Amino acid sequence: MGPTTRAQFVYNRRRRSGGRHAVEEASDEEEQRQDSSSSSSDEEDEAEASGEEVADEEEEEAAAVEPAVKEDHAAAAAGEKRGGRKGRITISLKKVCKVCKKTGHEAGFKGAVYIDCPMKPCFLCKMPGHTTLTCPHRVAMEHGVIPAPRRNTNTSLDYVFQSQVKGKISMKGLLGIWDYVKLHEKITYDSVHFCILNSMKIDNANDGILYTASSDGTISCTDLDTGMGSPLLNLNPNGWNGPSSWRMIYGMDLNTDKGLILVADNFGFLYFLDRRSKTRIGHPVLIHKKGSKARIWDTRKLEANSPLANLAHGRVVNSGYFSPQSGNKILTTCQDNRIRVWDYIFGDLQSPSREIVHSHDFNRHLTPFKAEWDPKDYTETVAVVGRYISENYNGVALHPIDFIDTSSGKLLAEVMDPDITTISPVNKLHPQDDILATGSSRSIFIWKPKTEDELTEERTKQKAKEYIYGSGSRKKTNGKHDNSSDDDSDGDSGRKSKKAKKTRFTCTTKGKGKSKV
DNA sequence: AACACATGGGTCC
DNA sequence: TGGACCCCCTGTGT
Protein backbone atom coordinates (compact mmCIF):
# COMPACT_ATOMS: atom_id res chain seq x y z
CA MET A 1 0.00 0.00 0.00
CA GLY A 2 1.10 3.50 -0.66
CA PRO A 3 1.98 6.24 1.74
CA THR A 4 -1.26 6.35 3.63
CA THR A 5 -1.01 8.61 6.57
CA ARG A 6 -4.55 9.92 6.65
CA ALA A 7 -6.70 7.39 5.02
CA GLN A 8 -6.30 3.72 5.19
CA PHE A 9 -7.64 1.45 2.54
CA VAL A 10 -8.91 -1.87 3.57
CA TYR A 11 -10.19 -4.46 1.24
CA ASN A 12 -12.82 -6.89 2.22
CA ARG A 13 -12.32 -10.43 3.07
CA ARG A 14 -15.45 -12.30 3.43
CA ARG A 15 -16.06 -14.57 6.24
CA ARG A 16 -15.17 -18.12 5.50
CA SER A 17 -18.04 -20.45 5.23
CA GLY A 18 -16.23 -23.37 6.76
CA GLY A 19 -18.99 -25.54 5.43
CA ARG A 20 -18.64 -29.08 4.43
CA HIS A 21 -18.66 -29.75 0.76
CA ALA A 22 -20.24 -32.82 -0.59
CA VAL A 23 -18.41 -35.17 -2.81
CA GLU A 24 -19.28 -34.49 -6.37
CA GLU A 25 -21.69 -36.88 -7.96
CA ALA A 26 -20.47 -38.90 -10.82
CA SER A 27 -21.39 -37.32 -14.10
CA ASP A 28 -24.70 -38.24 -15.59
CA GLU A 29 -24.09 -41.20 -17.73
CA GLU A 30 -27.33 -40.75 -19.55
CA GLU A 31 -26.08 -37.53 -20.99
CA GLN A 32 -22.89 -39.09 -22.11
CA ARG A 33 -24.62 -42.01 -23.71
CA GLN A 34 -24.38 -42.13 -27.40
CA ASP A 35 -27.09 -43.62 -29.52
CA SER A 36 -25.58 -46.70 -31.01
CA SER A 37 -26.87 -46.13 -34.50
CA SER A 38 -24.17 -43.99 -35.92
CA SER A 39 -21.85 -45.60 -38.35
CA SER A 40 -18.32 -46.53 -37.58
CA SER A 41 -16.94 -44.13 -40.10
CA ASP A 42 -18.77 -41.32 -38.41
CA GLU A 43 -17.32 -42.44 -35.16
CA GLU A 44 -13.88 -42.27 -36.52
CA ASP A 45 -14.41 -38.89 -38.00
CA GLU A 46 -15.78 -37.58 -34.81
CA ALA A 47 -13.07 -39.15 -32.80
CA GLU A 48 -10.45 -37.71 -35.02
CA ALA A 49 -12.05 -34.33 -34.88
CA SER A 50 -11.94 -34.35 -31.13
CA GLY A 51 -8.39 -35.50 -31.03
CA GLU A 52 -9.13 -38.97 -29.66
CA GLU A 53 -7.52 -42.08 -30.88
CA VAL A 54 -9.71 -44.77 -32.32
CA ALA A 55 -8.61 -48.15 -31.21
CA ASP A 56 -8.02 -50.85 -33.75
CA GLU A 57 -10.36 -53.80 -33.75
CA GLU A 58 -7.87 -56.04 -32.08
CA GLU A 59 -7.02 -53.53 -29.45
CA GLU A 60 -10.45 -52.41 -28.50
CA GLU A 61 -10.83 -54.68 -25.53
CA ALA A 62 -7.74 -53.24 -23.99
CA ALA A 63 -8.48 -49.69 -24.90
CA ALA A 64 -8.85 -47.39 -21.97
CA VAL A 65 -12.23 -45.78 -22.27
CA GLU A 66 -14.43 -43.87 -19.94
CA PRO A 67 -17.23 -45.70 -18.11
CA ALA A 68 -19.94 -44.24 -20.30
CA VAL A 69 -18.04 -45.27 -23.34
CA LYS A 70 -17.51 -48.69 -21.92
CA GLU A 71 -21.22 -49.05 -21.53
CA ASP A 72 -21.72 -48.13 -25.13
CA HIS A 73 -19.02 -50.47 -25.97
CA ALA A 74 -20.83 -53.29 -24.24
CA ALA A 75 -24.18 -52.30 -25.71
CA ALA A 76 -22.75 -52.06 -29.14
CA ALA A 77 -21.03 -55.38 -28.72
CA ALA A 78 -24.27 -57.00 -27.62
CA GLY A 79 -26.42 -55.39 -30.28
CA GLU A 80 -24.13 -55.88 -33.18
CA LYS A 81 -22.78 -59.19 -32.20
CA ARG A 82 -22.36 -61.26 -35.29
CA GLY A 83 -24.28 -58.70 -37.23
CA GLY A 84 -23.10 -56.35 -39.92
CA ARG A 85 -19.36 -56.31 -39.99
CA LYS A 86 -18.41 -59.28 -37.96
CA GLY A 87 -16.52 -58.45 -34.83
CA ARG A 88 -16.60 -54.77 -35.56
CA ILE A 89 -17.26 -52.87 -32.38
CA THR A 90 -17.85 -49.20 -32.38
CA ILE A 91 -16.80 -46.85 -29.65
CA SER A 92 -18.94 -43.83 -29.07
CA LEU A 93 -17.06 -40.69 -28.37
CA LYS A 94 -19.81 -38.17 -28.50
CA LYS A 95 -18.65 -34.75 -27.50
CA VAL A 96 -19.79 -33.78 -24.06
CA CYS A 97 -18.94 -30.37 -22.77
CA LYS A 98 -17.43 -30.65 -19.33
CA VAL A 99 -18.72 -27.22 -18.47
CA CYS A 100 -22.36 -27.29 -19.45
CA LYS A 101 -22.66 -31.09 -19.85
CA LYS A 102 -24.37 -30.63 -23.17
CA THR A 103 -23.36 -32.50 -26.27
CA GLY A 104 -22.15 -31.28 -29.61
CA HIS A 105 -19.25 -29.25 -28.36
CA GLU A 106 -16.46 -29.48 -25.85
CA ALA A 107 -14.61 -27.08 -23.63
CA GLY A 108 -11.02 -27.49 -22.62
CA PHE A 109 -7.54 -27.41 -23.95
CA LYS A 110 -6.83 -28.18 -27.54
CA GLY A 111 -3.11 -28.24 -27.50
CA ALA A 112 -2.09 -25.05 -25.80
CA VAL A 113 -5.33 -23.24 -26.52
CA TYR A 114 -8.28 -23.34 -24.22
CA ILE A 115 -11.67 -23.49 -25.89
CA ASP A 116 -14.52 -21.94 -23.97
CA CYS A 117 -17.93 -23.45 -23.62
CA PRO A 118 -20.03 -21.41 -26.05
CA MET A 119 -23.03 -21.68 -23.76
CA LYS A 120 -21.34 -19.59 -21.10
CA PRO A 121 -20.58 -15.89 -21.05
CA CYS A 122 -17.10 -14.91 -22.10
CA PHE A 123 -14.62 -16.19 -19.56
CA LEU A 124 -12.58 -13.05 -19.89
CA CYS A 125 -14.99 -10.11 -19.89
CA LYS A 126 -18.01 -12.01 -18.54
CA MET A 127 -20.28 -10.69 -21.25
CA PRO A 128 -22.57 -13.05 -23.17
CA GLY A 129 -22.57 -13.54 -26.92
CA HIS A 130 -18.97 -14.49 -27.48
CA THR A 131 -16.14 -16.49 -25.97
CA THR A 132 -12.62 -15.67 -24.94
CA LEU A 133 -11.32 -16.46 -28.39
CA THR A 134 -13.37 -13.69 -29.95
CA CYS A 135 -13.44 -11.34 -27.00
CA PRO A 136 -12.48 -7.81 -28.02
CA HIS A 137 -10.32 -7.65 -24.92
CA ARG A 138 -8.34 -10.65 -25.96
CA VAL A 139 -4.86 -9.99 -27.21
CA ALA A 140 -4.23 -13.13 -29.19
CA MET A 141 -6.33 -16.04 -30.29
CA GLU A 142 -6.14 -19.47 -31.79
CA HIS A 143 -8.47 -22.39 -32.19
CA GLY A 144 -8.79 -25.98 -31.25
CA VAL A 145 -10.73 -28.46 -29.15
CA ILE A 146 -9.60 -31.20 -26.86
CA PRO A 147 -11.19 -32.82 -23.84
CA ALA A 148 -9.31 -32.17 -20.64
CA PRO A 149 -10.88 -34.38 -17.98
CA ARG A 150 -10.48 -33.13 -14.51
CA ARG A 151 -11.83 -34.24 -11.24
CA ASN A 152 -12.57 -31.93 -8.42
CA THR A 153 -13.61 -33.57 -5.24
CA ASN A 154 -14.32 -31.42 -2.27
CA THR A 155 -13.92 -32.66 1.22
CA SER A 156 -13.62 -30.75 4.40
CA LEU A 157 -10.32 -30.88 6.18
CA ASP A 158 -9.47 -29.08 9.32
CA TYR A 159 -5.99 -28.57 8.12
CA VAL A 160 -5.20 -26.19 10.92
CA PHE A 161 -6.00 -28.92 13.36
CA GLN A 162 -4.00 -31.37 11.33
CA SER A 163 -0.94 -29.24 11.37
CA GLN A 164 -1.29 -28.04 14.90
CA VAL A 165 -2.09 -31.28 16.64
CA LYS A 166 -0.76 -33.95 14.38
CA GLY A 167 2.01 -31.98 12.80
CA LYS A 168 1.26 -33.64 9.52
CA ILE A 169 1.43 -30.62 7.31
CA SER A 170 4.93 -29.46 7.84
CA MET A 171 5.49 -27.59 4.61
CA LYS A 172 2.93 -24.90 5.17
CA GLY A 173 4.05 -21.53 6.38
CA LEU A 174 7.63 -21.88 5.29
CA LEU A 175 9.27 -18.51 4.96
CA GLY A 176 12.12 -18.22 2.49
CA ILE A 177 14.44 -15.28 2.18
CA TRP A 178 16.60 -14.78 -0.87
CA ASP A 179 19.12 -12.19 -1.83
CA TYR A 180 18.23 -11.74 -5.45
CA VAL A 181 21.84 -11.45 -6.52
CA LYS A 182 22.85 -14.48 -4.48
CA LEU A 183 19.99 -16.85 -4.79
CA HIS A 184 21.89 -19.85 -3.62
CA GLU A 185 22.02 -18.28 -0.20
CA LYS A 186 18.41 -18.93 0.55
CA ILE A 187 17.41 -18.90 4.17
CA THR A 188 14.28 -20.66 5.27
CA TYR A 189 12.37 -20.26 8.46
CA ASP A 190 10.05 -23.12 9.23
CA SER A 191 9.00 -22.14 12.72
CA VAL A 192 7.70 -18.64 12.17
CA HIS A 193 4.30 -19.72 10.89
CA PHE A 194 2.55 -23.01 10.40
CA CYS A 195 -0.01 -21.84 7.87
CA ILE A 196 0.39 -19.98 4.65
CA LEU A 197 1.73 -16.46 4.72
CA ASN A 198 -0.69 -13.95 3.36
CA SER A 199 1.29 -10.77 3.73
CA MET A 200 4.89 -9.75 4.16
CA LYS A 201 6.10 -6.24 4.84
CA ILE A 202 9.59 -4.96 5.40
CA ASP A 203 9.94 -1.98 7.67
CA ASN A 204 12.11 0.35 5.66
CA ALA A 205 12.59 2.66 8.60
CA ASN A 206 14.05 -0.22 10.56
CA ASP A 207 16.14 -2.03 8.06
CA GLY A 208 15.98 -5.76 8.22
CA ILE A 209 12.72 -6.17 10.10
CA LEU A 210 10.22 -8.32 8.32
CA TYR A 211 6.62 -8.53 9.38
CA THR A 212 4.59 -11.52 8.32
CA ALA A 213 0.91 -12.31 8.55
CA SER A 214 -0.44 -15.81 8.32
CA SER A 215 -3.55 -17.91 8.25
CA ASP A 216 -2.35 -19.33 11.52
CA GLY A 217 -3.73 -16.13 12.99
CA THR A 218 -0.43 -14.64 14.02
CA ILE A 219 1.76 -11.71 13.14
CA SER A 220 5.47 -12.22 13.53
CA CYS A 221 8.44 -10.00 13.09
CA THR A 222 11.76 -11.41 12.03
CA ASP A 223 15.09 -9.65 12.07
CA LEU A 224 16.61 -10.61 8.75
CA ASP A 225 20.12 -9.83 9.95
CA THR A 226 20.08 -11.96 13.04
CA GLY A 227 17.34 -14.38 12.10
CA MET A 228 15.67 -13.71 15.40
CA GLY A 229 11.93 -13.74 15.34
CA SER A 230 9.24 -12.89 17.78
CA PRO A 231 5.47 -13.12 17.76
CA LEU A 232 3.53 -9.90 17.77
CA LEU A 233 -0.03 -11.04 17.76
CA ASN A 234 -1.91 -14.28 18.13
CA LEU A 235 -5.59 -14.24 17.34
CA ASN A 236 -6.04 -17.86 18.31
CA PRO A 237 -4.64 -18.00 21.83
CA ASN A 238 -6.95 -20.85 22.76
CA GLY A 239 -5.91 -23.02 19.88
CA TRP A 240 -8.11 -24.90 17.52
CA ASN A 241 -11.82 -24.95 18.26
CA GLY A 242 -13.12 -25.62 14.81
CA PRO A 243 -13.14 -23.66 11.60
CA SER A 244 -15.93 -21.32 12.61
CA SER A 245 -13.82 -19.64 15.26
CA TRP A 246 -10.35 -19.92 13.78
CA ARG A 247 -9.02 -16.52 12.82
CA MET A 248 -6.80 -16.04 9.86
CA ILE A 249 -4.91 -12.89 9.01
CA TYR A 250 -5.06 -11.78 5.39
CA GLY A 251 -4.30 -8.09 5.41
CA MET A 252 -1.45 -6.32 7.09
CA ASP A 253 0.22 -3.01 6.54
CA LEU A 254 2.66 -0.71 8.24
CA ASN A 255 2.09 2.89 9.07
CA THR A 256 5.64 3.96 9.64
CA ASP A 257 4.73 7.52 10.55
CA LYS A 258 2.78 6.40 13.53
CA GLY A 259 4.69 3.24 14.20
CA LEU A 260 1.53 1.26 13.64
CA ILE A 261 0.84 -2.13 12.22
CA LEU A 262 -2.66 -2.64 10.90
CA VAL A 263 -3.98 -6.15 10.76
CA ALA A 264 -7.17 -7.47 9.19
CA ASP A 265 -8.62 -10.90 9.82
CA ASN A 266 -11.06 -13.14 8.00
CA PHE A 267 -14.00 -11.98 10.09
CA GLY A 268 -13.65 -8.36 9.03
CA PHE A 269 -11.94 -7.09 12.16
CA LEU A 270 -9.11 -4.60 12.11
CA TYR A 271 -6.45 -4.65 14.80
CA PHE A 272 -3.82 -2.09 15.69
CA LEU A 273 -0.38 -2.92 16.93
CA ASP A 274 2.27 -0.63 18.22
CA ARG A 275 5.47 -1.43 16.43
CA ARG A 276 7.80 -0.57 19.27
CA SER A 277 5.96 -1.88 22.28
CA LYS A 278 4.62 -4.81 20.25
CA THR A 279 1.29 -4.57 21.93
CA ARG A 280 -2.23 -4.21 20.76
CA ILE A 281 -3.78 -0.80 20.81
CA GLY A 282 -7.45 -0.33 21.50
CA HIS A 283 -10.08 -2.81 20.53
CA PRO A 284 -10.52 -4.52 17.21
CA VAL A 285 -12.98 -2.75 14.97
CA LEU A 286 -15.44 -4.57 12.78
CA ILE A 287 -14.99 -2.69 9.55
CA HIS A 288 -16.50 -5.17 7.15
CA LYS A 289 -19.46 -7.40 7.12
CA LYS A 290 -20.33 -10.07 4.67
CA GLY A 291 -21.30 -8.57 1.36
CA SER A 292 -19.52 -5.31 1.84
CA LYS A 293 -17.02 -4.26 -0.75
CA ALA A 294 -13.89 -2.15 -0.81
CA ARG A 295 -13.87 0.81 1.50
CA ILE A 296 -11.66 3.74 2.40
CA TRP A 297 -11.27 4.75 5.99
CA ASP A 298 -9.72 7.57 7.90
CA THR A 299 -7.49 5.87 10.41
CA ARG A 300 -8.15 8.64 12.87
CA LYS A 301 -11.81 7.83 12.82
CA LEU A 302 -12.13 4.14 12.54
CA GLU A 303 -15.52 3.13 13.72
CA ALA A 304 -17.94 0.64 12.40
CA ASN A 305 -20.03 1.96 9.53
CA SER A 306 -18.10 5.16 9.07
CA PRO A 307 -16.01 4.72 5.95
CA LEU A 308 -14.96 7.71 3.90
CA ALA A 309 -16.11 5.98 0.78
CA ASN A 310 -17.38 2.73 -0.65
CA LEU A 311 -15.76 1.65 -3.84
CA ALA A 312 -18.35 -0.26 -5.79
CA HIS A 313 -17.19 -3.55 -7.28
CA GLY A 314 -19.01 -6.37 -8.94
CA ARG A 315 -17.43 -9.08 -6.89
CA VAL A 316 -14.84 -9.68 -4.23
CA VAL A 317 -11.91 -7.29 -4.26
CA ASN A 318 -8.54 -8.99 -4.09
CA SER A 319 -6.53 -5.89 -3.42
CA GLY A 320 -6.45 -2.14 -3.37
CA TYR A 321 -3.31 -0.08 -3.43
CA PHE A 322 -2.73 3.62 -3.13
CA SER A 323 -0.46 4.97 -5.82
CA PRO A 324 3.17 4.87 -4.73
CA GLN A 325 4.16 8.50 -5.17
CA SER A 326 1.24 10.75 -4.34
CA GLY A 327 -1.12 8.27 -2.79
CA ASN A 328 -3.90 10.01 -4.64
CA LYS A 329 -4.97 7.13 -6.82
CA ILE A 330 -6.21 3.70 -5.96
CA LEU A 331 -5.72 0.57 -8.03
CA THR A 332 -8.07 -2.30 -7.27
CA THR A 333 -8.20 -5.86 -8.53
CA CYS A 334 -11.60 -7.46 -8.52
CA GLN A 335 -12.76 -10.99 -9.12
CA ASP A 336 -15.02 -9.77 -11.89
CA ASN A 337 -11.96 -9.70 -14.13
CA ARG A 338 -11.52 -5.98 -13.99
CA ILE A 339 -8.77 -3.77 -12.77
CA ARG A 340 -10.09 -0.43 -11.66
CA VAL A 341 -8.36 2.88 -11.24
CA TRP A 342 -9.76 5.55 -8.98
CA ASP A 343 -7.95 8.75 -9.83
CA TYR A 344 -8.86 11.04 -6.98
CA ILE A 345 -9.35 9.59 -3.58
CA PHE A 346 -11.00 12.79 -2.38
CA GLY A 347 -13.09 13.17 -5.50
CA ASP A 348 -16.06 11.33 -6.78
CA LEU A 349 -15.65 7.70 -5.91
CA GLN A 350 -19.09 6.64 -7.00
CA SER A 351 -17.57 4.94 -10.00
CA PRO A 352 -14.03 4.16 -11.04
CA SER A 353 -12.14 6.42 -13.39
CA ARG A 354 -11.31 3.45 -15.58
CA GLU A 355 -12.06 -0.23 -15.81
CA ILE A 356 -9.61 -2.52 -17.54
CA VAL A 357 -10.70 -6.02 -18.46
CA HIS A 358 -8.02 -8.43 -17.42
CA SER A 359 -8.09 -12.13 -16.68
CA HIS A 360 -7.50 -12.81 -13.04
CA ASP A 361 -10.71 -14.47 -12.00
CA PHE A 362 -9.92 -17.88 -10.60
CA ASN A 363 -11.88 -20.78 -9.28
CA ARG A 364 -10.00 -21.78 -6.18
CA HIS A 365 -6.62 -22.90 -5.09
CA LEU A 366 -4.65 -19.90 -6.20
CA THR A 367 -3.23 -16.98 -4.35
CA PRO A 368 -5.45 -14.07 -5.43
CA PHE A 369 -4.10 -11.90 -8.20
CA LYS A 370 -3.24 -8.39 -7.15
CA ALA A 371 -2.40 -5.67 -9.62
CA GLU A 372 0.35 -3.51 -8.16
CA TRP A 373 1.73 -0.14 -9.08
CA ASP A 374 5.24 0.10 -10.38
CA PRO A 375 6.90 1.89 -7.47
CA LYS A 376 9.44 3.51 -9.81
CA ASP A 377 6.87 5.04 -12.11
CA TYR A 378 6.50 8.68 -11.15
CA THR A 379 3.56 9.10 -13.48
CA GLU A 380 1.68 6.49 -11.48
CA THR A 381 0.33 4.68 -14.48
CA VAL A 382 2.15 1.36 -14.84
CA ALA A 383 0.85 -1.67 -13.04
CA VAL A 384 1.98 -5.26 -13.01
CA VAL A 385 -0.32 -8.24 -12.62
CA GLY A 386 -0.24 -11.91 -13.46
CA ARG A 387 -2.66 -13.26 -16.04
CA TYR A 388 -4.85 -16.26 -15.40
CA ILE A 389 -5.79 -17.40 -18.85
CA SER A 390 -2.99 -18.86 -20.82
CA GLU A 391 -1.52 -17.80 -24.11
CA ASN A 392 -0.50 -20.20 -26.81
CA TYR A 393 3.14 -19.58 -27.12
CA ASN A 394 4.75 -21.77 -29.73
CA GLY A 395 2.50 -24.61 -28.74
CA VAL A 396 2.98 -24.15 -25.02
CA ALA A 397 0.31 -22.72 -22.77
CA LEU A 398 1.94 -19.97 -20.80
CA HIS A 399 0.51 -17.52 -18.32
CA PRO A 400 2.12 -14.15 -18.87
CA ILE A 401 2.76 -11.42 -16.39
CA ASP A 402 1.28 -8.22 -17.71
CA PHE A 403 2.52 -4.68 -17.52
CA ILE A 404 -0.46 -2.44 -18.04
CA ASP A 405 -0.73 1.26 -18.71
CA THR A 406 -3.61 2.00 -16.37
CA SER A 407 -4.29 5.35 -18.01
CA SER A 408 -5.17 3.73 -21.31
CA GLY A 409 -5.60 0.07 -20.51
CA LYS A 410 -2.91 -0.72 -23.03
CA LEU A 411 -0.77 -3.76 -22.52
CA LEU A 412 2.75 -2.44 -22.32
CA ALA A 413 4.54 -5.74 -21.99
CA GLU A 414 3.84 -9.37 -21.30
CA VAL A 415 6.49 -11.42 -19.64
CA MET A 416 6.62 -15.08 -20.51
CA ASP A 417 9.23 -17.74 -20.29
CA PRO A 418 9.01 -21.36 -21.37
CA ASP A 419 10.29 -22.31 -17.95
CA ILE A 420 7.34 -20.65 -16.26
CA THR A 421 4.43 -22.89 -17.11
CA THR A 422 2.60 -22.14 -13.91
CA ILE A 423 0.36 -19.21 -13.18
CA SER A 424 2.21 -16.36 -11.49
CA PRO A 425 -0.16 -14.67 -9.11
CA VAL A 426 2.45 -12.91 -7.00
CA ASN A 427 4.57 -10.23 -8.59
CA LYS A 428 6.77 -7.62 -7.02
CA LEU A 429 8.66 -4.88 -8.76
CA HIS A 430 11.92 -3.66 -7.38
CA PRO A 431 11.60 -0.20 -5.83
CA GLN A 432 14.64 1.14 -7.67
CA ASP A 433 15.81 -1.26 -10.34
CA ASP A 434 14.11 -2.75 -13.38
CA ILE A 435 13.65 -6.08 -11.73
CA LEU A 436 10.59 -8.20 -11.29
CA ALA A 437 10.27 -10.98 -8.78
CA THR A 438 7.50 -13.36 -9.71
CA GLY A 439 6.27 -16.24 -7.67
CA SER A 440 4.20 -19.30 -8.34
CA SER A 441 3.47 -22.48 -6.49
CA ARG A 442 6.58 -24.00 -7.94
CA SER A 443 9.19 -21.37 -8.14
CA ILE A 444 10.41 -17.88 -7.73
CA PHE A 445 11.82 -16.11 -10.73
CA ILE A 446 13.75 -12.91 -10.93
CA TRP A 447 13.40 -11.02 -14.16
CA LYS A 448 15.21 -8.09 -15.57
CA PRO A 449 15.22 -6.53 -19.01
CA LYS A 450 17.82 -7.88 -21.35
CA THR A 451 20.80 -5.69 -21.94
CA GLU A 452 21.78 -4.75 -25.46
CA ASP A 453 24.76 -7.09 -25.22
CA GLU A 454 22.52 -9.98 -24.21
CA LEU A 455 20.11 -9.23 -27.02
CA THR A 456 22.94 -9.12 -29.53
CA GLU A 457 24.35 -12.37 -28.23
CA GLU A 458 20.97 -14.02 -28.41
CA ARG A 459 20.39 -12.87 -31.96
CA THR A 460 23.78 -14.17 -32.94
CA LYS A 461 23.11 -17.54 -31.37
CA GLN A 462 19.71 -17.75 -32.98
CA LYS A 463 21.14 -17.02 -36.38
CA ALA A 464 23.81 -19.62 -35.86
CA LYS A 465 21.18 -22.14 -34.85
CA GLU A 466 19.07 -21.44 -37.89
CA TYR A 467 22.10 -21.79 -40.05
CA ILE A 468 22.96 -25.13 -38.58
CA TYR A 469 19.52 -26.69 -38.09
CA GLY A 470 17.32 -24.71 -40.41
CA SER A 471 14.57 -22.50 -39.10
CA GLY A 472 11.49 -24.55 -39.85
CA SER A 473 11.86 -27.68 -37.75
CA ARG A 474 10.13 -27.27 -34.46
CA LYS A 475 9.38 -30.14 -32.20
CA LYS A 476 5.83 -30.44 -31.01
CA THR A 477 5.66 -30.03 -27.27
CA ASN A 478 1.93 -30.34 -26.72
CA GLY A 479 1.92 -28.05 -23.76
CA LYS A 480 4.81 -29.67 -22.02
CA HIS A 481 8.49 -29.07 -21.90
CA ASP A 482 10.56 -30.83 -24.45
CA ASN A 483 14.11 -31.88 -23.89
CA SER A 484 15.74 -29.98 -26.65
CA SER A 485 19.02 -28.55 -25.61
CA ASP A 486 19.22 -24.86 -25.23
CA ASP A 487 21.66 -22.21 -24.36
CA ASP A 488 20.64 -21.91 -20.77
CA SER A 489 23.57 -21.57 -18.54
CA ASP A 490 22.25 -22.82 -15.26
CA GLY A 491 22.03 -26.55 -15.32
CA ASP A 492 19.88 -27.34 -12.35
CA SER A 493 17.07 -28.53 -14.53
CA GLY A 494 16.96 -30.94 -17.38
CA ARG A 495 13.68 -29.54 -18.57
CA LYS A 496 14.63 -26.84 -20.95
CA SER A 497 12.63 -25.68 -23.85
CA LYS A 498 12.41 -23.09 -26.52
CA LYS A 499 13.26 -19.53 -25.79
CA ALA A 500 10.38 -17.14 -25.75
CA LYS A 501 10.88 -14.89 -28.71
CA LYS A 502 8.29 -12.39 -27.63
CA THR A 503 9.76 -12.14 -24.19
CA ARG A 504 11.58 -8.94 -23.68
CA PHE A 505 12.77 -10.02 -20.31
CA THR A 506 15.10 -12.74 -19.36
CA CYS A 507 15.18 -15.11 -16.49
CA THR A 508 18.45 -14.63 -14.75
CA THR A 509 18.12 -16.94 -11.85
CA LYS A 510 15.65 -19.03 -10.01
CA GLY A 511 14.96 -21.08 -6.96
CA LYS A 512 12.46 -23.51 -5.60
CA GLY A 513 9.48 -22.15 -3.79
CA LYS A 514 6.96 -23.61 -1.45
CA SER A 515 3.22 -23.77 -1.69
CA LYS A 516 1.54 -20.46 -2.13
CA VAL A 517 3.75 -17.45 -2.15
C1' DA B 1 -1.42 -42.57 -14.71
C1' DA B 2 -4.93 -41.61 -12.12
C1' DC B 3 -6.64 -39.79 -8.50
C1' DA B 4 -7.02 -36.94 -4.01
C1' DC B 5 -6.68 -32.70 -2.16
C1' DA B 6 -6.30 -27.50 -1.04
C1' DT B 7 -11.13 -24.68 1.64
C1' DG B 8 -12.99 -19.48 -1.62
C1' DG B 9 -16.99 -17.55 -3.29
C1' DG B 10 -21.57 -17.30 -5.45
C1' DT B 11 -26.13 -18.85 -5.51
C1' DC B 12 -30.12 -21.07 -4.20
C1' DC B 13 -33.30 -22.59 -0.88
C1' DT C 1 -28.70 -16.71 8.10
C1' DG C 2 -26.69 -20.80 7.08
C1' DG C 3 -26.02 -25.06 4.73
C1' DA C 4 -25.77 -27.52 0.30
C1' DC C 5 -24.08 -27.44 -3.94
C1' DC C 6 -21.55 -25.92 -7.74
C1' DC C 7 -17.62 -23.95 -10.03
C1' DC C 8 -13.98 -22.92 -16.82
C1' DC C 9 -7.62 -22.61 -18.41
C1' DT C 10 -4.29 -25.35 -11.06
C1' DG C 11 -0.71 -27.70 -9.12
C1' DT C 12 1.27 -31.07 -6.07
C1' DG C 13 1.68 -35.26 -3.94
C1' DT C 14 0.77 -40.14 -3.70
**CA at A114, C1' at B9: how many angstroms apart?**
23
Tell me the per-residue pLDDT of A367-411, one tens digit each, with 9 for 90 and over: 899 999 999 999 999 999 999 999 888 888 899 999 999 999 999
The span from the CA of A20 to the CA of A26, in Å, is 18
Q: Indicate whether A445 pLDDT > 50.
A: yes
What is the helix (H) or strand (E) element at residue A280, kind and residue range? strand A279-286
Whether CB of A397 is under 7 Å from strand C: the answer is yes
Q: Indicate whether A21 pLDDT > 50.
A: no
Tell me the per-residue pLDDT of A286-317, one tens digit each, with 9 for 90 and over: 887 766 668 898 888 887 778 899 899 988 89
**CA at A67, C1' at B3: how many angstroms apart?**
15
Whether CB of A366 is under 7 Å from strand C: the answer is yes
- Nucleotides of chain C in contact with protein CB (under 7 A) are 3-13
Q: Indicate whether A513 pLDDT > 70.
A: no
More confident: A97 or A342: A342
Whether CB of A114 is under 7 Å from strand C: the answer is yes
**CA at A216, C1' at C9: how many angstroms apart?**
31
In A 146-205, which Cβ lie closer than 7 Å to strand C? 150, 152, 154, 171
> How many residues in total does chain A contain?
517
The type of residue at A357 is: V
Closest nt to residue A163, judged CA to C1': B6
* HEC string for A407-474: CCCEEEEEECCCCCCCCCCEEEECCCCCCEEEECCCEEEEEEECCHHHHHHHHHHHHHHHHHHCCCCC
Neighbours of A454 (CB within 10 A): 13
Q: Indicate whether A63 pLDDT > 60.
A: no
**CA at A139, C1' at B8: how many angstroms apart?**
28
Tell me the per-residue pLDDT of A71-113, one tens digit each, with 9 for 90 and over: 333 333 333 333 333 344 444 456 778 888 888 888 888 888 8
**CA at A136, C1' at B1: how many angstroms apart?**
39
Instruction: Read off the pTM.
Output: 0.70
Which residues put CB within 7 Å of chain B, the nucleic strand?
Answer: A 13-14, 16-17, 19, 21, 64, 151-157, 159, 195-196, 215, 266, 315-316, 335, 363-365
Closest nt to residue A131, judged CA to C1': C8
Q: Indicate whether A181 pLDDT > 60.
A: yes
Non-local CB neighbours of A224 within 8 Å, separated by 6+ positions: A177, A202, A208, A209, A210
Q: Which among A205, A208, A206, A235 is positioned nearest to A219, based on CA atoms? A: A235
Strands A218-223 and A229-234: antiparallel
What is the helix (H) or strand (E) element at residue A8, kind and residue range? strand A7-10
pLDDT of A380: 97
Q: Which among A430, A416, A441 is positioned nearest to A506, based on CA atoms? A: A416
Lowest-pLDDT range, A2-11, A77-86, A454-463?
A2-11
Whether CB of A109 is under 7 Å from strand C: the answer is yes
Contact A393, A370 (CB under 8 A): no
Greatest mean pLDDT among A65-79, A208-222, A444-458: A208-222
**CA at A86, C1' at B1: how many angstroms apart?**
33
Lowest-pLDDT range, A99-108, A201-210, A420-429, A476-485?
A476-485
**CA at A290, C1' at C1: how many angstroms apart?**
11
- For the segment A452-460, the average pLDDT, to the nearest whole number, is 82
| Structure confidence at residue A441 as a pLDDT band (50, 70, 90) | confident
